[in-house]
Amino acid sequence: MASSTHSPQDEDRPDSGPDAGPSADSDAKSSTERHSAKLPESHWARARDGTNTEALEYLRNRSKAPGVADGGSERNHYCLKCNGVLPLRYDSRKAAEKVPPKKCPHCGEPIEQRVRAMFNWVETDQVPGSDARAMAPLVVGLILIVAGAVWLAVRFLL
């Protein structure tokens, strides 16, 4: 026996006419207009009507980015150039892998291993590689200067 998603409220709603429920071919805008028509004039949604248009347009365009229709994986990150969906595989408690940058399968842009563009933020929190090689000349130079100063002090003061 097939189950129906019919609610008791649907029994009171006519199938045609001015009080008919939403049809299958209704677009999002008319649906929004229908819902806002039921709101009182003082409702906060009416005050915000028409705001955040740039953000809404950005999200609409982003939903058309490459790979979005495919669904991605459990967690995704996005290409910084084309906003294409990329599967996310990393452990933020470990240093970033030292492998050549992968390329975006959508636009071919090299992907930085330690920077990930998530849905609405950019993560740069992976532990960077060690700075020991960069600091070694400074540490050796400092040790030589201190050793030279001690040698001079011992040689001329004693």
pLDDT digits (tens, 9 = 90+) for 88-113: 766 666 665 655 557 888 888 888 77
pTM comes to 0.41
Q: What is the pLDDT of residue 141?
A: 97
CA distances from 156 to 60, 113, 136, 142 (A): 77, 55, 30, 21
C-alpha torsion 92→93→96→102, nearest 10: -30
Cα–Cα nearest to 56, from 67, 48, 46: 48
Length of the chain: 158
Confirm if 107 and 113 have CB atoms less than 8 A apart.
Answer: no
C-alpha torsion 90→93→97→102, nearest 10: 30
Cα–Cα nearest to 36, from 20, 50, 18: 50
The predicted model gives 114-141 an average pLDDT of 80
**Per-residue confidence band for 41, with pLDDT thresholds at 50, 70 and 90:** confident
